[in-house]
Amino acid sequence: MPAVVSPVPVPLAGEAVPAGFPATVGDGHDDGFSLDRHIIRNPAHTFIVTVAGDSMEGAGIFHGDWMVVDRSLEPRDGDIVVAVLDGELTVKRLTWHAGVPRLHAENPRYPDFTPGEHADLVIWGVVTGSFHPQPALDRRGATAYGPAPQR
């Protein structure tokens, strides 16, 4: 029988951290932040998937990132989706042109996919968020996962 795990809130700082000039540090924080309560709206229909490839780098989604995918949401124009095109999984931005869906890559090295008349396209789920790990670099420029990525 699988174990039931309760959410474990982690501390959430009460103020934003500037990415520009440093600011004074306050000591305010709330009672905690639970990822599953704030990031996952529909737990029974949500999955975490790992990204393979670089076709969505322009949207800030990189190889090895984790994406939160909600299968209960109705996909809308402009959503990033996980799609099944002719039996193959892909993550792309869904756009509509003259009533026809298009899967748009956020990397100019990749073409858009416009399913033909006999193509089988299923939108598997809508991406609601992603997590990009930031491994520390050692002095040689390598990470805990191997050589530093070339970006």
Contacts for 139 with CB less than 8 Å, ≥ 6 apart: none
Are 129 and 67 in contact, with CB atoms under 8 Å apart? yes
- b/e map of 59-79 (b: 16 or more CB within 10 Å)? bebbeebebbbbeebebeeeb
Instruction: Show the beta-strand stretches assigned E in 4-120.
Output: 46-50, 66-70, 80-85, 88-97, 100-104
Active-site residue identified among 34, 72, 92, 130: 92
**Cα separation of 73 and 123, whole Å?**
10
Active-site residue identified among 6, 34, 55, 130: 55
**Cα separation of 84 and 150, whole Å?**
29
Q: State the CB neighbour count (10 A cutoff) for residue 8.
A: 9
Q: Examine the residue annotation and report whether 92 is marked as an active-site residue of this protein.
A: yes
The residues assigned a catalytic role are 55, 92
